[in-house]
Amino acid sequence: MKSSTIRVALVGNPNTGKSTLFNDLAGLHQRVGNYPGVTVEKKTGHYQHAGFTFEVIDLPGTYSLAPRSPDEMVAVDVLLGRRAGESAPDIVLLIVDATNLQRNFYLVSQVLSCGLPTVVALNMVDIAQERGIEIDVKKLAAKLGTPVVAIQANRGQGIPELKAALLSASQSTPAKSENPFPAEFIDQALGLSSRLDSNLKLPLPLFLVERLILDGNGYLEDQLLPINAHAEREYLQSVRQSLSQHGFPIPAGEAMARYAWVGRTLEDVVRTPTERRLTLSDRIDAVLVHKLWGTLVLLAVMALLFSSIFQFAEPAMSWVDSGVGWIADVVGSQLAPGALRSLLVDGVIGGVGAVVIFLPQILILFAFIAFLEDSGYMARAAYLMDRLMAGVGLSGRSFIPLLSSFACAVPGIMSARVIENYRDRLVTMLIAPLMSCSARLPVYVILISAFVPSHHYLGGIVGLQGLTLLAMYLVGIFAAVGVAWVLKRTLLRGETPSFVMELPSYKMPSLRTVLFRMAERGWDFLYCAGTLIFSITIIVWALAYYPRSDSLVAETIAGQREQLAAEIAAAAPDSSARNSLLNKLEEFDQQANLTQLEGSLHQQYSFLGRAGRLIEPVVRPLGWDWRIGCAVIASFPAREVVMGVLGVIYNLGTDWDVSVESDQSQLRDRLKSARWDNSGEKVYNLPVALSLMVFFALCAQCAATLSVIRRETNTWRWPLFTFAYMTGLAYVAALLTYQVASRIWV
C-alpha cells in the first residue's frame, strides 16, 4: 500500500523561477532548516491535493548534478535517497526556463539519468512566446517520456494542471529514458558497477558509477571509494584513459554527449526565429551595462539601497526602541527592585532589544536584495563590479554583501549566500564585519565631537571632524582589503574561482517571492537573537550585576561624604573655598546624585568592574583606564552599548539615552573631565579618543554578527576565528594609534 504522503523534489537551474514555483505550491506551509554538516539550506513545504499530502523539497538551484563539494553533493544524495533516514523522493519536479531550453535541458538529461518519475514544468512560456519561440509541448512530452506542463509561475498559471500531473505521475511507473552516452561508455559503467559491487561490496546506483567515471577532479572518488581501494582507483583511471582513446574525452565527453541529446530532443519540438531579434531584455541591458550609464545606474541603485537602510529603517527602529522601552517600563513597574527586575529589564529585555533593533534594517535590505536578484539585476551588478573586486582576490558577487555591511554586517553576511564559491563566500563573511556599520556611528560621533577640534579647511567645505569620521571608515576598508589578501594567500588558498556567470533575462519579480524572502531572513535573524544572543546577553548582564554588595557601596558613599565633611571642617570659615565645598556637599546629598553614584559603584564592584581592573595593564598601552576596559568587555554583545556603559560608570545613571542630544553632551562633559585614579591627570585626550575609535572600528564586539557567521558556516570555528583576528587587529591598531598620536600631541 502506498503511503498518503508523496515526496516531490523540486530541481532546476538558477533564475528559472524555482522559488516562485515553490511558493506557489507550498504557500505558507514551509520550513527552512539546514542539512547537517553542510551550509545548504533545507527548504521543505507541503500541500494537499486529491486526499494526498505532497511534501515538496526545494533543492538548491544548480546547472548540473556533478558534485564537486559537500554542498553540491546534497542534491545528488537527496535524489538518490542516500541521506540517512530519507528515502528517494517519489517524483522529481523539474522546472525549466522556456526561453533558454538548451542549457536547461542539460540538467534535464542528468535528472532523467537518475531514473526517478519526473514531471517537467515549462516556466515563462509567455516570454518565450513574445520572443517568437514556439514549443510543441505534447511532442516534447512524448519524446521525453515524462509529463510536460506549461506554467507561468509568477502569475500562478498552470499550477492546477501541474498538481494533477504530479498526482498521476505518482501513480504510474516512469518510462525508461534514453541513455545519452555511447555504447562503450555504458559498457564500461556497467563493468565498473559490478566490479565495485563484488570487490568492495559497494552497490552504487548506476548514476553515481557514471559520475565516478565522469568527474575527474577527485571529489567523488574520495567520497565514494575507500581510501585503501588502490586497485579500484587504478581501474577507474584506466577506464577513463580507454574512453579518451575511443573518442570520449573526460570531462568534455559528458557535455558533448548530453548536449547532442539535447539537440536531438529539441530539434523538431522547438522553433526559434532564425534572425536575431532585439528582446526587451537586450534593450534594458543596452543601458544597464553601458560603460557610462550602467555605472551611473549602479551608483544610483547603491545609493538608494544604502540610504534606504539608513533612512527608511530609522522610524521603524525607533518604534522597536520605544516598544522595547515600553515593555521594560511595564515589566519594571510590576516588580520590586532587585536581581529579578534587573535580570528581566536590563538583561533580557534590554539585551534582546538591542539586537532586535536591527530587524528593520534586515527586512529592508532583504526586500531590496530579493528584488535585485529576482529581477536579474544582481548578476549585472556583480558583472560591473567584478574587475574592482578581483583586485583583492574576490569576485563581483562579493560586492553587495560587503556594501550592505556598512549598514549592518548581519544582513551583509546573510546575503553572502549568493556567492557560489565556498572560499570566496567565507572570505567575504570574515571581512564583512570590518565595514563600519551603523552601530559604530554613535561611538564615532560622541568621541569626535568631544575630542577632535572643529577646524575647517578649504573655505569651510572640509572639516577635521568629518575627515576623522571618514578616516574611521577607511581604516575598516583598508583592513578588510589586507585581511582578504592575507586569507586568500594562507588559510583559504586555492584555485582562483571562476567567474562563469549567467546574465539572466530581466523579469518583473513577484511580490510574493520578495515578501517570502524578507520574512524568511527576518525569522532566521530573530531565531538567532532569541537563542544564542539571548544567552550571551544574560551572561554579560550577570557579570555586571553580581556580586551585589549593598553594604560595600553604602560604606564607600559614607566614606566619600565623610571626606567631604572633613575637608569642610578643615577649611577656613567663610572662605570661598569653604562655600564651594558646602555647595558640593549639598549636591552630593541630592537623591539623584546618590542613586547614580550607587549605580556606578555597583558596576565598579561587580565582576565586570573587577575584570576591568584586572585587564588594566593590558589596555594601559592603548591609553585606556580600567573604566574603558570595563566598558569594552561589557559591550561584547553589542558594540553600541559601550557608550551606555561608560555613561553608567561616569554616574549618568541607567536612564541615560545615547540618542538624546542633551544626554550626549552630558556624557561628553563627563568624559572630558574624567581623571586617572592615581595621578589625577585627564583620562581622555585626542590620542585616547582616536585609539578607542580605531579599536571599535576593527573589533568584533557584536554577538549578532558572530552568531550569524556561525549560522552560515555551520561551525564554531569561523566565528571564533573572526573574533580572535578582529580583536587582535583592533588591539594592535589601537596600540599603534595611541603610541604614535601621543607622541605628536603631548
Partner 1 sequence: MISLETLSVGQTAKVLRFAGGGDITQRLLEMGVTPGVDIRLVGSAPLGDPLEFEVRGYRLCLRRSEAKKIEIQT
Catalog residues that contact partner 1 under the rule CB under 8 A.
63-64, 66, 68, 99-103, 106, 215-217, 251-252, 254-256, 259, 272, 285, 289, 291-292, 294-295, 379, 383-384, 386-388, 390, 396, 495-496, 498-505
State the minimum distance, in angstroms, from the CB of residue 175 to partner 1: 25
State the minimum distance, in angstroms, from the CB of residue 14 to partner 1: 11
CA-closest candidate to residue 468, choices 686, 662, 659:
686
Residue 181: other Cβ atoms inside 10 A: 22
> Cβ closer to partner 1: 155 or 290?
290
On whether the CB atoms of residues 541 and 343 are closer than 8 A, the answer is yes
SS (H, E, C) 649-676: HCCCCCCCCCCCHHHHHHHHHHHHHCEC
> Cβ closer to partner 1: 67 or 629?
67
Q: Which amino acid is at 168?
A: S
State the minimum distance, in angstroms, from the CB of residue 70 to partner 1: 15
For cell 576591568, the residue is 612
> Cβ closer to partner 1: 201 or 387?
387
State the minimum distance, in angstroms, from the CB of residue 241 to partner 1: 15
CA-closest candidate to residue 368, choices 436, 303, 319, 296:
303
**Cα-based distances in Å from 641 to 527, 633, 743:** 21, 10, 30
State the minimum distance, in angstroms, from the CB of residue 727 to partner 1: 35
> Cβ closer to partner 1: 77 or 97?
97
> Cβ closer to partner 1: 285 or 567?
285
> Cβ closer to partner 1: 253 or 609?
253
> Cβ closer to partner 1: 389 or 544?
389
Query: Tell me, what DSSP letter sits at residue 2?
Result: -
CA-closest candidate to residue 44, choices 60, 25, 58:
58
Cβ burial of 327 (10 Å; 0-12, 13-18, 19+) is: middle
State the minimum distance, in angstroms, from the CB of residue 201 to partner 1: 30
Residue 670: other Cβ atoms inside 10 A: 17
Name the β-bridge partners of 675: 682
> Cβ closer to partner 1: 133 or 167?
133
> Cβ closer to partner 1: 214 or 649?
214
State the minimum distance, in angstroms, from the CB of residue 285 to partner 1: 8
State the minimum distance, in angstroms, from the CB of residue 217 to partner 1: 6
Give me the helices (H) in 114-251, please.
125-130, 137-144, 159-170, 183-200, 206-214, 219-224, 230-245
State the minimum distance, in angstroms, from the CB of residue 289 to partner 1: 7
State the minimum distance, in angstroms, from the CB of residue 526 to partner 1: 37
Give me the helices (H) in 335-407, please.
339-342, 350-356, 359-375, 377-390, 399-404
On whether the CB atoms of residues 149 and 122 are closer than 8 A, the answer is yes
For cell 576598508, the residue is 477
- Buried/exposed code over 139-169 (b: 16+ C-beta within 10 A; e: otherwise): ebbebbebbbbbbbbbeeebbeebbebbbeb
Cα 334 from Cα 340, distance rounded (Å): 11
> Cβ closer to partner 1: 2 or 291?
291
> Cβ closer to partner 1: 252 or 566?
252
Cα 9 from Cα 18, distance rounded (Å): 12
CA pseudo-torsion sign 507, 513, 514, 518: negative
> Cβ closer to partner 1: 266 or 320?
266
State the minimum distance, in angstroms, from the CB of residue 715 to partner 1: 23
Q: What angle do CA 636, 642, 643 make, to 5 degrees?
A: 170
Q: Where are the beta strands (DSSP E) in 218-301?
A: 270-271
Q: Which amino acid is at 727?
A: T
Residue 34 has which C-alpha cell?
539546514
State the minimum distance, in angstroms, from the CB of residue 457 to partner 1: 32
For cell 528584488, the residue is 371
Query: Tell me, what DSSP letter sits at residue 44?
Result: E
Residue 361 has which C-alpha cell?
534594517
Per DSSP, the three-state class of 586 is: helix
Q: In what helix (H) or strand (E) does residue 8 lie, and over which residues does it extend?
A: strand 5-12
> Cβ closer to partner 1: 232 or 420?
420
> Cβ closer to partner 1: 101 or 447?
101
Cα 402 from Cα 435, distance rounded (Å): 7
> Cβ closer to partner 1: 500 or 569?
500
State the minimum distance, in angstroms, from the CB of residue 158 to partner 1: 22
> Cβ closer to partner 1: 262 or 706?
262
Q: At what angle do helices 576-589 and 591-605 cross, to 10 degrees?
A: 70
State the minimum distance, in angstroms, from the CB of residue 490 to partner 1: 21
Name the β-bridge partners of 123: 97
State the minimum distance, in angstroms, from the CB of residue 138 to partner 1: 22
State the minimum distance, in angstroms, from the CB of residue 379 to partner 1: 8
Cα 419 from Cα 492, distance rounded (Å): 15
Cα 476 from Cα 398, distance rounded (Å): 16
